[in-house]
Amino acid sequence: MAALTPISRKPLSLVLPTVAAAGAILGLFVGTANGSGLMGIIIGAAAIAGLAFVYTQVLKNEKLAKWISIVGMAALGFVLGGIPAAIIGALAGWFYSWFIYWLYEGRYRQRLLPYLTPGQVLWHYGFRVICGAIFIFLITPILVVMPLSFNSQDFFTFTPEMLRFEAEGYSLKHYQDFFTNNEWQRSFKNSLLIAPIATIISVSLGTLAAIGLSQSHVPGRRAIMAILISPMIVPLIISATGMFFFYAQIGNWMEGTLGFNKNFVGYVKVILAHAVLGIPFVIITVTATLVGFDRSLTRAASNMGADPVTTFFRVQMPLILPGVISGGLFAFITSFDEVVVVLFVGSASQKTLPWQMFTGLREQISPTILAVATILVGISIALLITLEFLRRRSERLRGMTPQ
C-alpha cells in the first residue's frame, strides 16, 4: 500500500503553468464555440492562472474559492449559452478550484510512493490524462446521440427548446415508433432470433476448438488457430463476399435436394454466417482462460473413474465457464450488431435491426434510428458490465486476485 506523504505547498512556478494549460483546454472549447479558438486558449489560460494566483496568494480560503468559481463560471456560462452552459460552467468552476488547491497543497503526492521522482509522478498522471482523453474521444459521439433520441421534432439536431431544457423539446415518440412500427419490430425479432442461435453454435464449436487446441500434442495447432480466427482478421467485406458464394450453393442444395422452404434456408445461412464470425471470439477468450487451468484436475478425475464427458462438465467446465460466457457475449454482440454479412447472405425476410438502421439512413432520415441506437448502447453497456464481473470472477477462481 502506498504511503501517505505529508502535504507540502508547491511553488507557483509549478502550479501556474499547469493550471494555465488546463484553462487553455477549456478556453479552446469555449473560444471555438464563439468563433475564435486561439483567443479562447489565450483567455482561458490567463484567466485560470490569474484565479490560481488570487486564490493561493490573496484569498487563501479553499471553500470560499470553490463557491466563487462555481457561481462565477455558472453566471458566465449562462450569459454565453443559457442554462446548459451555466451547468457546464458550474461544473468547470468546481473542478478548477479543486484542481488549483490539489496542486498547490501537494495533494497529488498523497497516495503515491514518496521516493517517486517528478518525472515518474508526471508520467503517473499524464498516462491517466491520455487514457481519459481517448475515452472522451470515443464516448462523445454516443453522448451526442442519446439526448437526440428524445427530440420532439423529426430532426437530427438539437432544437432551441432542447437547448433551453424546455419540456416541449423532449418526447418519447421515437421510442414509441420503434415499439409500434411493424418494420422495426420485425427486424428486432429477427435479431433476437438469429443472434442467440448463432451464439449457441459459436460457443459450442469455439469451446471445443479451444480445448482441443490447448493440448500440446495436437499437430499444427498454431496454423489451425490462425485459420479459425481469420474471420476476425480478414476485412469483413471480403468475408461477406466469400460467404455469399459459399452459402448460395448450400442454399440451393437445401432447397432443391432437401426441399426446405426458401425463408427457412435464408435464416440458416445468416445464422451460420454469424456463427462463423463469433467463433474466433469464443476461441480467444476460452484459450485465455485455459492458460491458468490446472491439468492435474482432469487427470485426477480420470483416475477416480470419471469418463471424459463427466470430467468436462463436472471439473473443467465450471472453471472455464467465465471465459465461455465472455466469449458467448462477444459472439452475441457481433451477431446482433453485424450488418455487412447479412446484406450479402440474407434476404428481406431476414432483415435484422442493424440492416433496418442502415436502410433508414440511406432511404429516409428517421430519428427513430437514434432511439434504436440508444437502446443498443444500453444493451452493450449491460453486456460489458457482465463481462467485467465474469473477468473478475475468473481471476478469483484462478487465484490471480484475492477473494
| Co-location of 92 and 220 in the same domain | no
Q: State how far the Cα of 225 lies from the Cα of 69, in Å rounded to an integer.
A: 58
**133-183 confidence digits (pLDDT tens):** 898 888 888 887 888 888 888 777 777 777 777 778 888 888 888 888 888
* Tally of domains within the chain: 2
Report yes or no on 162 lying in a domain: no
Is residue 335 within 8 A of residue 354, CB to CB? The reply is no
The residue to which cell 433520441 is assigned: 149
Q: State how far the Cα of 344 lies from the Cα of 86, in Å rounded to an integer.
A: 49
Phi, psi (deg, nearest 5) at residue 210: -65, -40
Q: What confidence score (pLDDT) does residue 278 get?
A: 92
Report yes or no on 155 lying in a domain: no
| Co-location of 193 and 299 in the same domain | yes
Q: What confidence score (pLDDT) does residue 196 get?
A: 93
| Co-location of 342 and 245 in the same domain | yes
Q: What confidence score (pLDDT) does residue 193 get?
A: 92
Domain boundary among the residues 62, 89, 115 is at 115
Domain ranges, residue 57: 12-115
| Co-location of 104 and 196 in the same domain | no
| Co-location of 109 and 242 in the same domain | no
Report yes or no on 35 lying in a domain: yes
Q: What confidence score (pLDDT) does residue 3 get?
A: 46
Is residue 151 within 8 A of residue 367, CB to CB? The reply is yes
Report yes or no on 5 lying in a domain: no
| Co-location of 243 and 321 in the same domain | yes
| Co-location of 20 and 109 in the same domain | yes
Provide the 8-state DSSP code for 8.
-
Is residue 152 within 8 A of residue 170, CB to CB? The reply is yes
Average per-residue pLDDT for the chain = 84
387/194: higher pLDDT: 194
| Co-location of 249 and 356 in the same domain | yes
Assess whether pLDDT exceeds 80 at residue 4. Answer: no
Domain boundary among the residues 62, 93, 115 is at 115
50/141: higher pLDDT: 50
| Co-location of 55 and 204 in the same domain | no
Q: State how far the Cα of 110 lies from the Cα of 7, in Å rounded to an integer.
A: 7
Is residue 97 within 8 A of residue 64, CB to CB? The reply is no
Report yes or no on 170 lying in a domain: no
| Co-location of 286 and 375 in the same domain | yes
* Range 332-344 average pLDDT: 89
Concatenated DSSP letters for 192-246? HHHHHHHHHHHHHHHHHHHHHHTSTT-TTHHHHHHHHTHHHHS-HHHHHHHHHHH
Instruction: Go through 178-194 and write b for each residue having 16 or more CB atoms within 10 A of its CB, e for each that does not.
Output: beeeeebebbbebbeeb
Q: State how far the Cα of 83 lies from the Cα of 235, in Å rounded to an integer.
A: 46
Region of 113 (left: φ > 0; alpha: ψ -120 to 50; beta: rest) is beta
| Residue 315: strand, helix, or coil | helix
Closest CA to 169 of 91, 84, 74: 84
Which residues are within 8 A (CB) of 347 and not within 5 positions of it... i.e. 6 or more apart? 266
- The one-letter code for the residue type at 197 is I
Q: State how far the Cα of 342 lies from the Cα of 321, in Å rounded to an integer.
A: 30
Report yes or no on 7 lying in a domain: no
What Rg do the C-alpha atoms of the chain give, in angstroms? 28
Assess whether pLDDT exceeds 90 at residue 319. Answer: no
Burial class (CB in 10 A: 0-12, 13-18, 19+), 223: exposed
Report yes or no on 110 lying in a domain: yes
User: Residue 269 corresponds to which cell in the numbers above?
Assistant: 445461412
| Co-location of 241 and 99 in the same domain | no
Domain boundary among the residues 74, 92, 115 is at 115
| Residue 86: strand, helix, or coil | helix
CATH number at residue 387: 1.10.3720.10
| Co-location of 375 and 263 in the same domain | yes
Report yes or no on 100 lying in a domain: yes
* Range 63-90 average pLDDT: 87
Task: Give the dihedral of Cα atoms 13, 17, 20, 25; nearest 10 deg.
Answer: -160
